Structure formats: C-alpha cells, structure tokens
Structure 1
Amino acid sequence: MSQTMLDAFSKCQPRPDACYAIASGVFPYHHSISERLANSEVVIDGTAVLMAGSNDYLALSNDLRLKAAAASAIARLGTGNCGSRPVNGTLALHERLEGELATFLRQEAALVVTTGYQANLALSALFAPDDVLFTDQGVHASLLDAARLGQAELHRFRHNDAVQLESRLKATPRDRGRLILTEGMFSADGNLGDLFSLARLAGKHGARLIVDGAHDVGLLGLGGRGAAEHLGVLDAVDVQTLTFSTCFGTLGGAVAGPAAVIDHVRLNARAALFSASLPPACTAAAQAALGIIRAEPERRQRVLAAARRLRADLTGLGFDTGLGITPAVPIRVGEPLVCMRLWRELLNEGVFTGALVPPAVPDGTALIRIGVTAAHSDAQLSRIAEACEKAGRRLGLIPSRRPALTP
C-alpha cells in the first residue's frame, strides 16, 4: 500500500488564527506607509494617522542634519558599496564612525555592520565549544540565533532572575569559559535588564558580560551610553552591541569591546564577513546622530518625561503598563486576537501602534506596544491616551467609567 508523499511546502499554509485576523480586518502587520508627514504622522491607506509604533525614540530619522549628512555621502560615495567589508566595502567613513563609537562607549574598538540583527549574529564568533553561554529568557530573537549559530553550551535563565543564574554559574566546571548574554532594555515592554546583579555575578564567577544595547544606547544614562551607564555598571560590560535603527534614526549596527575581541569578530563572524557593508548614507547619518546624542541630552530628557506621562495616564485609566521607565510603553492584553482587535480599534481612532503576539512574546502575554518619541507633543500624548481609553472601553479592557480619584 503506497503512502501519500509529504509536500515540503505544506508548512507554508497560513495559520488559522492569521487567516481569521486577516479576514476580520484586524491583522496588524505589513501595512504600508506611503508618506511621512512633518508632525509625527504617516499616511496609511490614504489616511493620516499619528505614528505611535516607532522605535525612533529621539526623533532623528527625519532630522534635517541626518538627511544632509546622508545626501552628502551619496553625492561623494554613491548609494552602496557593493561588497563586503574585507574585500572592497570598507570606507574611511566606517572607520571614523567605529572610532567615535568606541570612544563614546568607553571601549577599545568597534565594528560597524549593516544591521543591528547582524551585530548580534556576529557575537556567535565568541561562543566556542568549551564555553557555556547563559542568556536571559527574554532576549531578542537575534541573540537566540547567535547562540544557536555559536558552538557554546546554551543555558537560559528566567527573565532577570539573578538567583537562578548564579546557581547555574556555580554548577559550571571551572575549566569552561562563561558568558552572560542579556539586553540593556528589553524591547517588547521597555523593562531594563538587571545589569547590576549580572555585573556582580560576572565578576564573582569569572564570566564575560555581553549586553545588547539596541534600545537603550543613546537613550539612557547621563551621557546616553545606555542602560549600563544608567545603572552604574558601564565599566563591567565586556562587549556591547547596538543598532542604528532606534536612537540613531537610520540603519546599521555595531559591536564594541576590547580590541582583541573586536578583531576576532571582524575576522571570524560570518554575518559580518559575508554581507555587503553599510551604505555611505546610513554610515554618515549614524555619525551625525552620534554627534546629536552627545550634544543634545534634552532629547532623551524630553522622551523619558513624555513616556512617564503617558504611562501614568494609561495606568490611571486601568491599563497594565508594567513597571518600565522607557519610551516603549506596553498595554498588556494577554490574548492575541483581543490584542489585534485593540490594535485595529486604535488605528480607527487615528493612532498607529505595534501589536506583539506569540511567538514575538510568550503565550498569554500579547501586548500593544506604544513607541513614544521626542517629537510627540503634549497634545499628541493626550491624543494617544484618549484613543486608548475609547478603544479599551469598547473592548471591555478597562472600566466603562474613569476610576474615582482617591481623596
């Protein structure tokens, strides 16, 4: 009796929940933006809506200085390098940016790559067979991919659980290298990594501490150097990665650390070796952004104050926004379909947000992610809160009336 042959593409059928979301008009992904307006609004399907789903925390992606730097670089160097860094794709512009980033982050050296995802994948070159790698369970997919590409033995510890991490460090043989991998700011809900505890454990157990600063470098700390500076442990971080697609307002990424480590990554990280290098426009824009980050601390002060205000407004309405302090403001919903319905209701109110559902977040933790930027006016923050109030009430996520004020 013959068996039915399995089609390898059978896995490509859309999931039932995605089909339902698309059919019901609540699917929150791949909505194209046709125009960016000057007042934090974008045009989607012919309608202007307030952008509240961006990672452009410092509002630099539309800054005239970045545009001018990018345009000048294109005029001098063209639109692309058409080659990898080791072959023909290294620009003097790359090397200048690397030097400035290393100095800024108080590291010996830096390597600029084409995306933040690649910066994290490049870390795989540091994960050798004799190593044991400990990662927070909440880290970004790019860090998990780096761990899987590397050859180290992988252990994941509960989110921000230093007690569990220490028990696993203690159980590691002394003849094996130890690496701790986490994030400065977890992008889904804006919470910070417990870098103080992790830095203490790294020092105590001879481990190396690697921090992904994608969402916090440029935003946190007295000098904008990220969560590690904010928490007073910048000198304890051995290697730091970052992306240019959040606070730097453009595309690209970098790895910074000791010169010997960065040289090793430069020569052995396949994600960097075999990819076309960062285009001139993005490199110049990132360099301009770094100058603004150093010179204009009021931008991060403004966005952090705006985030505090919005969190307070949403919490006062009855939403669960977690305990974060950053411009990534979550509205915890739980069920994916309800989360997507809330996303659609907010869009109907003229506010574009982000919806995070599994596998981007664990089961049962779907959330709306609001991205506050330094360009959001007080009136726009009120507009976001009002849209959330109307949408939340329609869906029964918050009380039908505002909670009474305690005398």
Structure 2
Amino acid sequence: MTHPLLKHLRDELAALDREGLTKRERLITTPQRARIAVRDPLAEGGERAMINLCANNYLGLADDPDVIASARAALDEFGFGMASVRFICGTQTLHRALETRIARWLGTDDAILFAACFDANGGLFEPLLGPEDAVISDSLNHASIIDGIRMTKARRYRFENADMNALEDRLKEADRDGARFRLIATDGVFSMDGHVAKLPEICALAERYGAMVMVDDCHAHGHLGEGGRGSPALTGGGGRVQIVTGTLGKTLGGGMGGFVAAPQPVIDTLRQRARPYLFSNSLAPPLAAGALKAIDIAEAADDRRERLAILTRRFRVAMEGAGFDLLPGETPIVPVMLGEAQRAQDLARALDERGVYVAGFFYPVVPRGRARIRVQMSTALSDADLDHAIDAFADAGRALGII
C-alpha cells in the first residue's frame, strides 16, 4: 500500500510540472568552462557542445591550470579528506593558511571556513544575537541569510530592497523596541537582479543608530572592487562593514566552501558556537589549496576584471538593441526579464537547441510574474562565443514572439 505522504508528494510534483515550475538538471560531461559538453543521447557521440552563460565562473578560474595544479598537489600532500570536524581532528595547516589569507585579503582580523556560504550565513546570527537584539534584513536577501535569521531568537525587521528610508524606519523601530544590539544584513550583490547594495548609505545609517553591518558578498568577491575585494571596495564602503560572508564556490575557483571574515571576537565566538561549523566536516584539502591559489590569481586580476566589464557592456548593448527587457545594472549578472515561468522555460529550451546553455529562473526562486533568464558573463568567453550567444538570443526571441 502506498503511504498517503508519497501520493501527496506525487500530486505536488505533478502540479509543479503543470505550472511550468519543474527544475530539470542537465548532465555536463566536461569541466566547467565557457564551452561545455552536455549529455544528449540523440546527438552524434552522445553529447553536444554548448556555450555556457549561467555559471558563477566570473573570472574563468573553475578550470584554471594553476588552480587545478594546486588542488592536485594538496591531494598528494594532505590526502583526500579529513573525516572529522575541525575541533576534533579536522584542522590542517592548510585550513588556517586559507583563513588567514582571506582575512589579509579582505582586511579583517580573522576568518573562519564553512562547508558552504549557505552554512556560513546559516550559522552566523544565532551565536551572536539574543532575544534582546535586532537584525534588520533587506527584503531580497539570499535564502541562506533568511534561514540564518530564522535560527536566532533576535527580533526580526525587514526593509524593502535598497530603500534607505525604510531601513531608517526599521532602525528607529528597533530602537523604540529597546534592542540591545542591532545588526543590518544585506547581500553585497543581489544574485537574481545583479544590483549592488547601497553600502555607503547603509553604513552611514548604521553608524547613526549604533548598528553593525553584515554583507554577503558571494557574487562580488574576486571579480568586483579593487583587488577583487567585493562590494565594500567597489562602493567605498570598505572599512565600515564589520562582517563579510563569502564563498569559494563561485569566482574563487568554483569548488565549494564558504567563510566569514570579521573582527576577532566574532570569529572566536563562531568557532565555539556556530553549529554548521561544529558539526560539519572540514573542507577537503584540495578545495582549500585550490581556493588559496584562486585568491592569489583574483587579487592580481585587474586585466580579467576589465575584460569582464567589457563583455558585460557589450552583451547588454546588443540585447537591448535586439529588443529584450533587461534589468539595469553594471555587474556581470544580466537578468533577461520574461514575466511568466513558462516563457522563461520556453526561451531556455530554444536557446538550448541553438547551443547556448542557460537556465530559467521562476517562482519560488524569484517572485511570481518576475521569471527571467539570468545570464552571467565570464572572462572565459571569447568574442566569438558572445557573438554566437547574442545571435541565438535574437533568433530564439523572434521565433517565440518575445522580441
């Protein structure tokens, strides 16, 4: 007899499919790079070559030979994995080297590694804030920040995305409610829209109301700001943001792992009390070593950052000229707005047929009626790759009546 829960889940999945909300994964048979191959039983040889426009591989380091060589050397020297959490017997010299390198790069006292930035954000708030405190969060913050805030007993306040008047109102409200400590939490770059947070204004309000500022810079570290130091460096908010979280799984090599960089008391507290840190295995040595090399490359990669900006501007101009609706912005995240989920799915499928690898984003990842294809630029893309992608968008858009 089938359990009622299983029938319920099947019905829910069928409803998702009818609404065009089912997310499907495609099998990639190559390393992550600008041109990838995907599994296709109908294609000659069982796979197809495609131009990849939806990886977080902003500086093209996911298959960088030096990053790979560093990871391979660490595999030989330090082994495959630690089989333990950090405080028991899972910390190697390599882990501390990476933490101190991150702190030096971002100009903080120290840093602490997590298995992913989802864990870093998930474990950040509860150890630092109690019921007497307040956390004020941007409405478009990443799901990991939202989940992390849910774990704390602190009072929760939310302000509309980038609305400084609303933020000030929430700070005043927290003050009237008698909050002991106040922490403002925001993405540095909002991953679905590509917008950069108004960090100078946020920091000014924080200083006026005695709050601290936390920034998730997963979509900024390595490819934005001086030395790739992210949104505080890009906006002039550097030195005024106390807590920064980030990932090693995007620009910085594309493996996995996350971190918090912050004043020493914050890091020391997280090392004692952050549950995802205390109860998760330490990063595999090859991941740590590859990330160390990736940071070295990214810090000195002014030429790659300039190339990334050129590609982004070129793509935006061509797409707007073709008639597509783009969200404005200057980061390498370029949202092509389509409205309904099925429309995003249809365009993604049409682009797949034309050799361009993209993904449709729709509810619950973005609000209903705000479906899109999020295009992400990478310095690994050649001019010919970009030309092909632009032509494919235009051809598919005309075929579907989008433009």
Task: Tell me the TM-score normalized by structure 1.
Answer: 0.92
Q: Does 1:215 align with 2:212?
A: no
- Does the CA-based 8 Å contact 2:34-2:378 persist in structure 1? no
Could you list the runs of 5+ residues in structure 2 that have no partner in the other structure? Answer: 41-46
**Does the residue aligned with 1:171 lie in a helix, a strand or coil?**
helix
Q: Does 1:36 align with 2:25?
A: no
In 2, the alpha carbon distance for the partners of 1:121 and 1:245 equals: 16
Q: How many residues align?
A: 391
Which residue number corresponds to residue 360 of structure 2? 355
In 1, the alpha carbon distance for the partners of 2:287 and 2:35 equals: 21
> What is the Cα deviation at residue 29 of structure 1?
2.4
Q: Does 1:375 align with 2:376?
A: no
- Does the CA-based 8 Å contact 2:33-2:60 persist in structure 1? no
Correspondence list, 1:7-406, <5 A: 7-13=4-10, 14-20=12-18, 29-36=24-31, 40-45=35-40, 46-124=47-125, 125-173=127-175, 174-249=178-253, 250-398=255-403
In 2, the alpha carbon distance for the partners of 1:29 and 1:304 equals: 31
Given residue 350 of structure 1, which amino acid in structure 2 is its aligned partner?
A: G
User: Cα deviations across residues 306-359 of structure 1 (Å, max 9, x unaligned)?
Assistant: 111101111111112111111111101110111111110111110001211111
> What is the Cα deviation at residue 38 of structure 1?
6.5
- Does the CA-based 8 Å contact 1:28-1:344 persist in structure 2? no
> What is the Cα deviation at residue 123 of structure 1?
1.0
Given residue 36 of structure 1, which amino acid in structure 2 is its aligned partner?
A: P
In 2, the alpha carbon distance for the partners of 1:128 and 1:300 equals: 41
> What is the Cα deviation at residue 388 of structure 1?
0.8
The percentage of aligned residue pairs carrying the same residue is 35
Given residue 149 of structure 1, which amino acid in structure 2 is its aligned partner?
A: M
| 1:118–1:70 Cα change, 3 Å | same
In 2, the alpha carbon distance for the partners of 1:318 and 1:17 equals: 33
- Does the CA-based 8 Å contact 2:190-2:196 persist in structure 1? yes
In 2, the alpha carbon distance for the partners of 1:10 and 1:300 equals: 51
In 2, the alpha carbon distance for the partners of 1:17 and 1:382 equals: 38
> What is the Cα deviation at residue 39 of structure 1?
5.4
> What is the Cα deviation at residue 10 of structure 1?
4.8
User: Cα deviations across residues 280-313 of structure 1 (Å, max 9, x unaligned)?
Assistant: 0000000000100122221111112111110111
> What is the Cα deviation at residue 79 of structure 1?
1.1
Given residue 269 of structure 2, which amino acid in structure 1 is its aligned partner?
A: H
**Does the residue aligned with 1:288 lie in a helix, a strand or coil?**
helix
> What is the Cα deviation at residue 127 of structure 1?
2.9
**Does the residue aligned with 1:235 lie in a helix, a strand or coil?**
coil
User: Cα deviations across residues 22-59 of structure 1 (Å, max 9, x unaligned)?
Assistant: 8xxx9552111122387522323211111111001010
**Does the residue aligned with 1:234 lie in a helix, a strand or coil?**
coil
| 1:123–1:388 Cα change, 3 Å | same
User: Cα deviations across residues 140-196 of structure 1 (Å, max 9, x unaligned)?
Assistant: 111111011111111111111111110111122344211100011111121111212
State the superposition RMSD in angstroms. 1.8
